[in-house]
Structure 1
């Protein structure tokens, strides 16, 4: 005797809609009606971060295609003893990485500086240097560009 076929499972009305894919890139959570700058489908925490992103894009275009850099804004990473961290930017190039942090006005207190140094130390344990840019320097986009070019060349492309 042949077994009766099992009934098909019931499906939701939106079964054809793909599940949202989780992403760590630009993982800026929105609170209420806050509006964050958005470019290239990426969300930034401030106008200063957006200005640095635009500078990084310019520097990226200056490089030859065979020695370009990848820019990851707000990519989350699990560190051994520091939990999950989301640096403002992770930049990869030449088989190396560097972290870029855009320091806002809230980062100038005594304890905040110590927290930043502690965070930088966690990245250094992974052999990843940190470049810090004060948000005031982003109001004139040409000001930090030369320094950023120099720092990226030193951290990503200079001989070890």
Structure 2
């Protein structure tokens, strides 16, 4: 499956497709609105990529690399990962996480974090399956997961 996948920078040509990615029922409640991510992140530290399969957008990742962030869990963080509903379960999410970890390693980073909520249709199982481990909780009850990149 991943033989057909590649990452590309978010562009004017792909942003409409990213905004049109459909999710499985119930998943949308676990994704922060785009406006939230934009308000929290600095454009200079943001890393956004689309996943193309045969030149069609099937996924999106929004990460942030800010070594000066005051909270450790925001220094190298996965903010958003979306995979089109009809493409879920095909290894695309795992591919995206693998590429994120490669980017973090290129930047000399050895830990990437993600926040998730528990519940039905929660992304928790996915994050655990790709290697994130719970390391704490936010003041809002979100789980803080960490992926430690082997040195």
**Structures share fold, TM-score greater than 0.5:** no
TM-score by length of 1: 0.34
| Higher RCO, Cα 8 Å, sep 6+ | 2
Bigger strand share: 2
Which of 1 and 2 has greater Rg? Answer: 1
Question: TM (normalized to structure 2)?
Answer: 0.35
